Structure 1
Amino acid sequence: MKKFNLVALLVALIPCFACAQFVVNGKITNGNKTINGATVKIGDFTTATNASGNYRFENIPGGKKTIKVSFVGYRNITKVIDVTADIIQNFDLKEQVFLAEDVIVRATRANDKSATTYKNISKKDIEENNFGQDLPFILQNTPSVVVTSDAGAGVGYTGIRIRGSDNSRTNVTVNGIPINDSESQGTFYVNMPDFASSVNNIQIQRGVGTSTNGAGAFGGSLNIQTTNGEVEPYAEVNNTYGSFNTWKNTVKLGTGLINNKFSFDGRLSRISSDGYVDRGASLLKSYFLTGAYQGNKDLLRINIFSGQEKTYQSWNGIPESRYNNDVPGMKAYIDRVPLDGEDAANLLNSGFRYNSFTYNNQTDNYNQSHYQLLYAREISNKFSFNGALHYTKGAGYYEEFLKADSLKNYGLKEVIIGSDTVKATNLVRRRWLDNDFYGLTYAFSYAPKKALNFTLGGAYNQYTGGHYGQVIWAQYASNGSIDRHYYYNEGNKNDFNTYLKANYSAVEALNFFVDLQYRRINYTIKGTENELNSLDIKDNLNFFNPKIGATYFIDTKQNVYASFSVANKEPNRDDYVDGGMKAFPKSENLNDVEIGYRYKKEQLNFGVNAYGMFYKNQLVLTGRINDVGSPYRQNVDKSYRIGIELDGSYQINSQFALNANAAISRNKIKNFIEYIGEDDSSQIINKYNLTDISYSPNAVLFGELVYKPAKGFALALQSKYVSKQYLDNTQNNARKLDGYWVNNARLGYNFQAFKLKNINLGLLVNNLFDKKYASNGYTYSYLYNGVVTENFYYPQAGTNFLLNLNIKI
C-alpha cells in the first residue's frame, strides 16, 4: 500500500516537474571586451546585457529553447539549448567584418590607449537621467562639470562649464560634425530639445583632448554619437510630467534590421514648461529621422534632425537686492536705473522668482535643422575611409518691448506734433539671425601592422550669417515701416583644417601617439551693427595644433599616461564687434599638460588625472556688458588652470554601488586690468595681480549611492558641491556666487506586463532639501555718485520633481 501511495504521488508530481522553471544567464563578449546593450531573446522573453556584458532570465520553462543574441555591427548568434536545470550560457560575438557604427566617430574618440582624460556616457546612462531637461543636465554629474539654467529648472536656455570654461570653449560634435555656432562659438542646447532621446553615447573629454573638427577645445569636448537603431522592430512612448507644469511627450519608432542591411528610425518630441522663474516658459519641439544601409564593407547613414524653440526671456537674472530680499537695496536700485511705477512694483512684489520682463511676447524664437550624410567603407583589411557631408539651416529672432527709446537709435526722424517734438517712443523690436552652415569632414585610416596605424583627415566648413533688426510696432513710427531693417550685417567664415594622427606600440605595453593639425580661418563682417555703427572687419588666422602623448600598461587592469597638447582659438563675433577696430582682439593660445592613472576591474573602476592648462592671450571678462547683457572680454597676457580630478565607481555587492568624482583646481590670471566708466577722461582703472578666473570654482565634488533591492528597481541618492565662483576677475568677495551643495534622488523601476517589451517608471526629485542657490550670474560697475557695482543672479528652483513613464512595444 505504501509503494502504491508513493507511485501515485510521483505520478501526481510529474506535471510539476514538467512545468519546472529555471534560470538562464551568461555573458556576451567580443574577445576580452564585454558588450553592453546586446539583445538576448528566448522565445517571447527579451532582455539586454548590462555594463558588464551579463544577461539573466528567470522562470524559463524546461525543454528545448532557441536563444538568439544580436547587436548592431556584430554577427547574430542562434543556438538551441536544452533547459533541464539552471544554465550558464556565454556567447562571443564576432564583428561584421569591420564596420561597426562607431567607425563614424572613431577619428575623434579617445580609448583605453589614449593619453587623455575622458568619460563615456552610455545609452543606458542617458536613458536613466533623461527626464526632459536639456542635455547639460544629463551630464551634470560628470567630473569638473557645472551646469546653469536661466529659467531655473533645466528647461530652456541652459549651459555647461567644464573646468571653469564656458559653452563657447567646449568643442561639440555630433557624429564628428561641428555643432558650435561659428560666430559665437557657443552651443545652444535649447535648439536641440530632447536630443538625448536620439543619442547612443557621449564621450566627454576634458582639456584639449582629441578634438579634431570645429571650435578649439579650451575646457573640454562633447563627442556625441546618435542612435544606431536596434536589431528588432520597436515602438516607444515616453511621457514626463513635473513641477512648474513641465511636460515631455516623445514617440519613437524603428524598423529594426531589414534583411540584415537596412534600418529606419524616427522620433517626435514636444517639451513645455512654465519654468521656475516668473514667465520663464518654454515650448520646444523637435524630430529626428535616420536611415542606414549596412553592408559587409560599406556603411551609409542619413540623419535629419530639427528643433524649434519659443522661450520667454529670463536671461537678465535678478538684482542682488531682490535675491537677498533687501528692500532698502531694491529701492535704491529703482532710483538708480530708474524704474517706473509698474516695473518698481514688479521688483518689490515678485520675490525670489522675479523676472524684469513683463511684455507678453518678450520671447526668443528660433528654428534649426541639421542634415547629415555619413559614409564609411573598408577598402581593405588595412585601409578604410569615413566621411560626411552636412548642412545646417538656422533662422529666428528675439522680440522685446522698450519704453521711451530714442528714435535716432533706429535711424528714424524726430516726429513733430503741433509744437511738440517727439524724440523717443515706446516700441517693439525684433533682432534676427538667419544663417547657413555647410561643409564636409573626412578621415582615411591605414594600419600597415597591428602595432601601427595612421589617420589622415580634415574638414572644410562655410558659414554665412545675416544679422538684422526690425521695429514691428512703435507708438510713434516716424518714417519707419514693419519691413525695414534698421541695421543689417553679414558674417562669413571659412574654416579649413587637416590633421595627421599616428599611434605606435613600441612594445605591447607602451603606446605612443602624435596628432598634428593645421587650421586656417577667414572671417569677415560687413554692414551696420545694432548701434548703427559701420562694420568692416576682416581677419585671417593660421593655427598649428600639435599633440603628443604616451600610455603605459602596467598590466591588463591599469595604465598610466601623459600628454602635451597645443590649441589655438579665434575670438568670437562679439569680441570683434564690441572691441571695434581700435581694440582688435588677439587669438588665444593654450598649452595643456595631462598626466593620469587608470585602474579598471569588474567591481572597481578608478582614475586620477592631474592637469596644467597655460594660456597666452586668454579672453576674459572685463566687467562690462552690452545692451543685451552679453559680456565684453579682453585679452590677458598670461593665465593658467592647474588641478587634479578623480573619478571612480565601486560595486559593493549585488545591491549597492558607489559613484564619485572630485575636481580640485587653482585658476589664476597673472595681471588683470579693470575699467570702470565709459568716458576715457573720467574712467577708473584698477590693476590686479594673480586673481581667480571668473566662474572657476576651486572645488567640484559629486557622490552617488545606488541601491537595487529587487530586479528592475533602482534608487540613487546624489549629492553635488560647487565652491564659490567670482563673477569677474577681480577676486572681490562682493562680486561672487556663493558655494552650494545640492542633493537629488532618482528612482527607476523596469518591468514587463501586458505583453509589452518593457515598462519603465522613473522619478527624479531635484534639490531634496530645498536649498536656495544660484548657479550663474554676472556683474558690472559704473560711475553714479561714485562707483556702483550691480550683481545679478540666476536663482535655481527649490525642491521639484519629474515623473516619467516609458512604454516600449
Structure 2
Amino acid sequence: GQDLPQMLQYTPAMTWYSDSGIGSNYSYFSMRGIQQTRINMTFDGAPLNDPAEHAVYFNNFHDFTNAVDSIQIQRGVGTSSVGSPSYGGSVNFASSPPAQDQRGDLRLALGSFDTKRASLAYESGVFANGISVGGRFSYADTDGYRDNSGTRHQTAFFDAGWQGERSSLKLVSFFGDEESQLAWLAVEPEILRVNRRFNPLDDEERDNFGQNFAQLKYTRALHNDTLLTASLYYNGADGWFRLWDDPEAKNDLLQFGIDQAFVGGMVTASKSFDRLSTTLGAHFNDFSGDHTLDTEQGRIYENTGYKQTANAFGKVEYRLGPWLLFGDLQLRWAEFSYTGDIDLGSVDWTFLDPKIGARRLISPRLSVYASLGRAQREPARMDLLLGEDNATVPHDLEAVHPEEVLDFELGVDLNTPEIALQANVYAMEFTDEIALTGELSEIGLPLRTNVDDSYRRGLEIDLKWRATQHWSLLHSSNLSRNRIREWTQFYDVYDEQGTWVGSEPITYRDVPPLLTPEVIFNLGVEWVGSGTSAALMGRYVDDAQLDNTGLEAFRLPAYTNVDLRASVSLGRWWASANPRITLFINNLFDNDDQYPSGYSYQFINQGSTGQQTLDGIPFYYPLATRNAVLTLELDL
C-alpha cells in the first residue's frame, strides 16, 4: 500500500511528497532536509543514481520494495562505496537470496482513487546443481489524488544464480515501463482552499518512460579468509514528456525526449586477520545521455551529455579490546562533457575523501560510537547548465563549484530483549553547498546554486520498546538547527502596469534552508498476535521555508498525520495458500491541511514614485485526504 518514499517517512529525519498526493506518480524523499538527488542509492552495490543528474525515479520501476530483501539507510557521510558520493546519506537495497524450495505468491490490491495493483512471483528453489531462478511481474494503475495525476506501471524483475562450494554467480535485473499524467506544478493556497485536487497541467501533458537494469556479480571465497567480488552492470532509461508551449493557448505540444544509459564494473577484495579486516575496491562507469525537443513542425534541438567516473578506496577495521577503530580513504575522479548547438567542452574533478571513527563496547548490549568524515560532490548537469535542458549560451562549466561537507556523528546503540534504541547527534558543515533556490526550471526540475557556508546540526532518535509480548511502542524523531550563513535572493521588479523593469538583489543572513523542518516527531503503537498485527502511527512535521529568505509569508505550515496498518492471516482455513489480508489507511483522521513541499515566486512591486514593496506567491503540494489500500496475498 505504500511506495518507497512514503514507506521511509517513519525513519528518522525523513520527509516525503508526491506529485499525485498519494505516493504514486513521481514521489521523492529528503534526509535531514537534503534532497533525494544528493543521497547515494545502490542495488546490490551497483549505483541507481544516474551520473549526470544524480537522480533516481522510482516511478520508472514500481513495486521495487517487494522485489528486494532489505533496505539499509545510512544518514550522513557513510563509508566508501560505488555510485554517487554518500553525501547527505545513502540507501542500499539488497536483492533476496535464492529460496531453497520452490515457491510463488500472488498479490492483488484495490484502493482509493481507483487504485489497482497486481503482482505474480515465482522462485524455482535451488536445484541439485546449485542453479536457481526467480521473477516477479507487477502491474499498477491509479487515477491519483490530484486531477490528471494518474499513472500506469508495468515492471518485471528477474534473477538467476549459481551457488558452488566457494563461488557464486548472480544475475539481477528489472525492466520497468510507466505512463503518467504530469502533476509537477504546485498550487497557490487560495486555490487549494477551494479545490485541493487542482492540477494546473491538463490531460495532454504526460510522459512515458522505461528503465532497464541488469547486474552480473561473481563472488569467490578463498581459503585464507579472503573474499573477492567482481560485477558488471547496465542502467538505462529512455522516454519522453509533453508540455504545452503556451499553457493558455495550447497550440502546440512540446515533446522533450531523454535517452540515456551507463555501464560500469567494480571489483572488491576483503580479507580478515586476527584483529584486522581490510577492504579494497575500484569502480568505473561510462554514461551518455541524449536530450531532444520536438514539435509537430519537427526537431527543435538535440544535445548529448557524457560523463565518466572512477574511484578506488580502501577501508580498514581494527579491534582493540572493547574498541573497534575504523577508517577509509576514497580517491574519486569524474569528467563531464557536453555537445549540442553550443559546444561547452569538458570539465573534470578529482576528490580525496577520508573518514575515521571508533566504536566502544560498553556491554554486550550497549555501545557508543563517533566518526568524522568528508565528502565532496561535483555539480549535476542541470547545475552546470543553470537549469537549461539545452544550452543557449556558452556556460562556464567551472562556474559552479563542487560542494563539500565535513560530517561529525556521535551516537549510542542499545539492544535488549525489550528495547532497541539508536540515538545520534550530528553536525554537517558545508562549504559551497549546491543548495536549492526554491525555483523550478522550464521543465520542472528544482534549481540550485552554490552557498559559501551552511550547516545542518541535530539529534536523531529511533526507538522500539516491546512493552509486553504483544504490544510495542515505536518512536523516531529529529530535532535540528539548520542555517545558511548568507543568501542573496534576486527579485524581479514590476511597475504599476505589471511590466518587468529589472531585477534587484537582497541579501539575508543566518536563514534556515528551504524544505528543512526543524522538528519531525513520529510516535506509534504496534500489536502483534498469532496471525494478526496492527499499527497506529502518528506524525508531526514542523513548518518549513519555501525559499532561503526566512520570511514567514513563504513558509509551509506544520502538519500532523495518522496512519493505520492492519493485517490478518487466514492460513488456518486455507493452509496451502496461506492467504493474508493487509489494510493501509493513510491520513486516518482526514486532515486536509498537509502540504509537505512546494516552492515560491517572489517579486518586487514598484510604484510611480519608486517606492518598492516585497510581494510573492507561495505554491504548495497537497497530500491526499483519507485514503486506503486493501491487499490480498496468496502463496502458490
Could you tell me which residue of structure 1 aligns to residue 198 of structure 2? Answer: 354
* One of 229, 248, 251 as aligned partner of 1:426: 251
* One of 262, 265, 280 as aligned partner of 1:440: 265
Q: Separation in 1 of the partners of 2:243 and 2:121?
A: 36
Q: Separation in 1 of the partners of 2:465 and 2:231?
A: 39
How many Å apart are 1:281 and its aligned residue? Answer: 0.2
1:210-266 CA-to-partner distances (Å, cap 9, x unmatched) read 241111223211010012231111120001100000011000001112117221110
Partners of 1:147 and 1:775 within 8 A in 2:
yes
**Secondary structure of the structure 1 residue equivalent to 2:514:** coil
Could you tell me which residue of structure 1 aligns to residue 25 of structure 2? Answer: 156
Partners of 1:624 and 1:781 within 8 A in 2:
no
**What are the within-5 Å matches in structure 2 for residues 163-242 of structure 1?**
163-242=32-111
Partners of 1:503 and 1:511 within 8 A in 2:
yes
Is residue 782 from structure 1 mapped to residue 595 from structure 2 by the alignment? no
Q: Which runs of 5+ in 2 are unaligned?
A: 388-393, 495-499, 607-612
Q: Separation in 2 of the partners of 1:134 and 1:457?
A: 33
Partners of 2:80 and 2:330 within 8 A in 1:
no
Could you tell me which residue of structure 1 aligns to residue 443 of structure 2? Answer: 628
How many Å apart are 1:538 and its aligned residue? Answer: 1.8
* One of 493, 508, 512 as aligned partner of 1:688: 508
How many residues are treated as equivalent by the alignment? 616
Partners of 2:372 and 2:406 within 8 A in 1:
yes
* TM-score, with length taken from structure 1: 0.74
Q: Separation in 1 of the partners of 2:567 and 2:439?
A: 46
Q: Separation in 1 of the partners of 2:65 and 2:98?
A: 14
Could you tell me which residue of structure 2 aligns to residue 330 of structure 1? Answer: none
**Secondary structure of the structure 1 residue equivalent to 2:417:** coil
> Residues 285 and 541 of structure 1: is their aligned pair in 2 closer, same or farther, counting only changes over 3 Å?
same
Partners of 2:143 and 2:151 within 8 A in 1:
yes
**Secondary structure of the structure 2 residue equivalent to 1:352:** coil
Letter in 1 for 2:196: F
How many Å apart are 1:787 and its aligned residue? Answer: 4.7
Letter in 2 for 1:252: A
Could you tell me which residue of structure 2 aligns to residue 672 of structure 1? Answer: 487
Could you tell me which residue of structure 1 aligns to residue 150 of structure 2? Answer: 281
Is residue 800 from structure 1 mapped to residue 620 from structure 2 by the alignment? no
Is residue 526 from structure 1 mapped to residue 526 from structure 2 by the alignment? no
* One of 618, 627, 648 as aligned partner of 2:463: 648
**Secondary structure of the structure 2 residue equivalent to 1:353:** coil
Q: Which runs of 4+ in 1 moved over 6 A?
A: 678-681
How many Å apart are 1:681 and its aligned residue? Answer: 8.1
1:391-439 CA-to-partner distances (Å, cap 9, x unmatched) read 122110001223389xxxxxxxxxxxxxxxxxx9821120000011100
> Residues 556 and 323 of structure 1: is their aligned pair in 2 closer, same or farther, counting only changes over 3 Å?
same
Q: Separation in 1 of the partners of 2:247 and 2:385?
A: 26
Letter in 2 for 1:511: L
Q: Separation in 2 of the partners of 1:352 and 1:632?
A: 26
**Secondary structure of the structure 2 residue equivalent to 1:136:** helix
Q: Separation in 1 of the partners of 2:625 and 2:428?
A: 36
Is residue 608 from structure 1 mapped to residue 423 from structure 2 by the alignment? yes
> Residues 789 and 289 of structure 1: is their aligned pair in 2 closer, same or farther, counting only changes over 3 Å?
same
Q: Separation in 1 of the partners of 2:627 and 2:250?
A: 42
Letter in 1 for 2:481: R
Partners of 1:782 and 1:789 within 8 A in 2:
yes
Q: Separation in 2 of the partners of 1:808 and 1:622?
A: 49
Is residue 585 from structure 1 mapped to residue 400 from structure 2 by the alignment? yes
Q: Separation in 1 of the partners of 2:350 and 2:222?
A: 33
**Secondary structure of the structure 2 residue equivalent to 1:620:** strand
1:608-659 CA-to-partner distances (Å, cap 9, x unmatched) read 1010000000012334432223332221111000101111111111111111
Could you tell me which residue of structure 1 aligns to residue 310 of structure 2? Answer: 496
Could you tell me which residue of structure 2 aligns to residue 332 of structure 1? Answer: none
Q: Which runs of 5+ in 1 are unaligned?
A: 1-130, 326-350, 406-423, 473-479, 529-533
Larger strand percent: 2
Is residue 767 from structure 1 mapped to residue 582 from structure 2 by the alignment? no
**What are the within-5 Å matches in structure 2 for residues 298-377 of structure 1?**
298-325=167-194, 351-358=195-202, 360-377=203-220
Partners of 1:510 and 1:550 within 8 A in 2:
yes
**Secondary structure of the structure 2 residue equivalent to 1:324:** helix
Could you tell me which residue of structure 2 aligns to residue 72 of structure 1? Answer: none
Is residue 270 from structure 1 mapped to residue 139 from structure 2 by the alignment? yes
Letter in 1 for 2:474: N
Q: Separation in 2 of the partners of 1:222 and 1:497?
A: 19
How many Å apart are 1:183 and its aligned residue? Answer: 1.4
Is residue 547 from structure 1 mapped to residue 362 from structure 2 by the alignment? no
Could you tell me which residue of structure 1 aligns to residue 610 of structure 2? Answer: none
How many Å apart are 1:502 and its aligned residue? Answer: 0.4
**Secondary structure of the structure 1 residue equivalent to 2:5:** helix
Could you tell me which residue of structure 2 aligns to residue 101 of structure 1? Answer: none
> Residues 179 and 678 of structure 1: is their aligned pair in 2 closer, same or farther, counting only changes over 3 Å?
farther
Is residue 461 from structure 1 mapped to residue 280 from structure 2 by the alignment? no
Letter in 2 for 1:523: F
Partners of 1:623 and 1:781 within 8 A in 2:
no
Is residue 729 from structure 1 mapped to residue 544 from structure 2 by the alignment? no
How many Å apart are 1:595 and its aligned residue? Answer: 0.4
Could you tell me which residue of structure 2 aligns to residue 402 of structure 1? Answer: 245
**Secondary structure of the structure 2 residue equivalent to 1:196:** helix
Q: Separation in 2 of the partners of 1:625 and 1:245?
A: 30
**Secondary structure of the structure 1 residue equivalent to 2:51:** coil
**Secondary structure of the structure 1 residue equivalent to 2:283:** strand
**Secondary structure of the structure 2 residue equivalent to 1:486:** strand
Q: Separation in 2 of the partners of 1:681 and 1:452?
A: 67
**Secondary structure of the structure 2 residue equivalent to 1:197:** helix
Query: What percent of counterpart residues are identical?
Result: 29
**Secondary structure of the structure 1 residue equivalent to 2:551:** coil
Is residue 697 from structure 1 mapped to residue 517 from structure 2 by the alignment? yes
Partners of 2:439 and 2:599 within 8 A in 1:
no
Higher relative contact order (CA 8 A, sep 6+): 2
Could you tell me which residue of structure 1 aligns to residue 390 of structure 2? Answer: none
Could you tell me which residue of structure 1 aligns to residue 121 of structure 2? Answer: 252
Could you tell me which residue of structure 1 aligns to residue 221 of structure 2? Answer: 378
Structure of greater Rg: 1
Q: Separation in 2 of the partners of 1:788 and 1:757?
A: 62
**What are the within-5 Å matches in structure 2 for residues 751-762 of structure 1?**
751-752=570-571, 753-762=573-582
Q: Separation in 1 of the partners of 2:247 and 2:147?
A: 24
Partners of 1:493 and 1:521 within 8 A in 2:
yes
Could you tell me which residue of structure 2 aligns to residue 60 of structure 1? Answer: none
Q: Separation in 2 of the partners of 1:151 and 1:242?
A: 15
**Secondary structure of the structure 2 residue equivalent to 1:734:** helix
* 721-730 or 205-214, larger mean C-alpha shift: 205-214
1:301-349 CA-to-partner distances (Å, cap 9, x unmatched) read 0112111111100101212321234xxxxxxxxxxxxxxxxxxxxxxxx
Q: Separation in 2 of the partners of 1:535 and 1:574?
A: 16
Q: Separation in 2 of the partners of 1:549 and 1:738?
A: 39
Partners of 2:48 and 2:235 within 8 A in 1:
no
How many Å apart are 1:288 and its aligned residue? Answer: 0.3
* 298-307 or 496-505, larger mean C-alpha shift: 298-307
Could you tell me which residue of structure 2 aligns to residue 716 of structure 1? Answer: 535
**Secondary structure of the structure 2 residue equivalent to 1:677:** strand
Q: Separation in 1 of the partners of 2:207 and 2:600?
A: 23
Partners of 1:266 and 1:288 within 8 A in 2:
yes
Letter in 2 for 1:446: K
Partners of 1:205 and 1:221 within 8 A in 2:
yes
RMSD in angstroms over aligned alpha carbons? 1.8
Is residue 661 from structure 1 mapped to residue 530 from structure 2 by the alignment? no
Partners of 1:622 and 1:631 within 8 A in 2:
yes
Could you tell me which residue of structure 1 aligns to residue 276 of structure 2? Answer: 452
